[in-house]
Structure formats: structure tokens, C-alpha cells
Amino acid sequence: MNGGRLPAPDEGFYRKIFSRLPELTTERLTLRPMRRGDARDLYAYASDPEVARHVLWSAHRDLDESREMIRAARRQYRHGWPASYAITMRDSGRMVGTIGFMWLNVEHRSAEVGYSLARDCWGRGLMTEALRAVTGFAFDTLRLNRLEAQHELDNPASGRVMEKCGFRPEGVLRSRLNNKGRFVDVKLWSLIRADLKQTGGGEDAPRGTND
């Protein structure tokens, strides 16, 4: 007997969830699986070199590249692999970014989250809102113990989003990534289940204002 505790998740548990990603809603956003019809919205911001500057994909040169990114995401859904949500505005339905899981380790119940956002949406607290929703999903639904995130040192705005969502800095990893031909230092952040209990959040993700 396990005293009423749930069994540890296995690979099948995660595949089932990722193959049918549930929608997440916030005050201003809906996070949902990407659709073929999102290609034009995706291209509108993914073609911006400033949006692509700190992510590992290059600015999209044409609509076909955006379509291929969506096809790749949909393949991940079909296979039940860790994948990203489309971030959409609740009032218009416009896709303005992505957020999701770069990898997931079943044995250690840990994962890395990454995100991107259209430039005209920067500075409005939207990514903070989206990340809070995903951290809640990670700990409540996926039953993870640890969630990681990282950003290039010259992109401190991303770190502020992580900090607002309760992530704690763990240090700088030198030349961690090769981003478009240059090796970059990144700052690593983490949020663990014990942090939620210390802040009085129990099993819930951190909450706060959309700043």
C-alpha cells in the first residue's frame, strides 16, 4: 500500500497528456495546441529578427518556414512528445507567441520551459501571465518536481519574467549554447515543488499581478 499517494508518473502518463494538450486560460490569454491556421500570425512575429535574436531558431524568411514549424509541433502532439502551446489573445484569437516544454525527464520528474513573444506584446505582462499558467500545469497536471528555464545574459527581461513567476537563479553557464554561430552564456533558473510549499502555495503555481 502507498498510503493513498498517487503512483509516480511513467512515460505513458506523459504521452497521453502531451498528445491531447489541454487548453489553459488566463485573464487575457488562451494557451492551446498550434493549428495549421496559425501560420500567418506566426510568420508575422517570427519573421522579426529581434524576436528571433535570443531563441535558437532563425527569423522566418517566408510563410513556408512558419508552416513547417507548426507541422513539427503537430508531429510532437501526435507522438505525445513534450511540445509548445500557441499563446493567443482571448479577445481576438491572434497567436502572439509560443510557450512550452523543451524536454522532460520522466525519472527525475523535471522539465525545461521556453517561450517567445511578438515584439508588440513586450512589456505588457503577457509572458508572465503565460508562464504562470504553464507552471501551474507543470506541477498540478504533469506532477513535476522541478521546472527549469534559461536565458542569455544579454536578455535580462526574460529573467525578470522568471523571477516574477517564483523561479530562483542557480548560476551562469558559460558558453552553454551555440546560437546562430556564437557561443553564449546563459543564466539558469529553477522552480521546485518545495518552493511552492514555502510560499504557502501548496500544490499550486505562484500567483501575483500581471506586471
pLDDT digits over 100-113, tens only?
Answer: 999 999 999 999 99
Question: Between these two residues, 6 and 201, which has the higher pLDDT value?
Answer: 6
Question: Which pTM value belongs to this model?
Answer: 0.90
pLDDT at 206: 38
Q: Are 116 and 98 in contact (CB under 8 A)?
A: yes
Give a yes or no: residue 210 inside a domain.
no
Q: Are 53 and 45 in contact (CB under 8 A)?
A: no
pLDDT at 198: 74
Could you please report the per-residue DSSP string of 170-182?
Answer: EEEEEEEEEETTE
Give a yes or no: residue 35 inside a domain.
yes
pLDDT 10s digits, 85-98? 999 999 999 999 99
Give a yes or no: residue 98 inside a domain.
yes
Average pLDDT in the chain: 92
Give a yes or no: residue 55 inside a domain.
yes
Give a yes or no: residue 3 inside a domain.
no
Residue 26's domain comprises 11-148
Give a yes or no: residue 198 inside a domain.
no
Kindly tell me if the per-residue pLDDT of 70 is higher than 50: yes
Give a yes or no: residue 117 inside a domain.
yes
Give the domain CATH number at 22: 3.40.630.30
Give a yes or no: residue 122 inside a domain.
yes
Largest CA distance in the chain: 57
Q: In total, how many domains does the chain have?
A: 1
Kindly tell me if the per-residue pLDDT of 208 is higher than 60: no
Q: Are 161 and 130 in contact (CB under 8 A)?
A: no
The pLDDT confidence band at residue 26, using thresholds 50, 70 and 90, is very high
The pLDDT confidence band at residue 65, using thresholds 50, 70 and 90, is very high
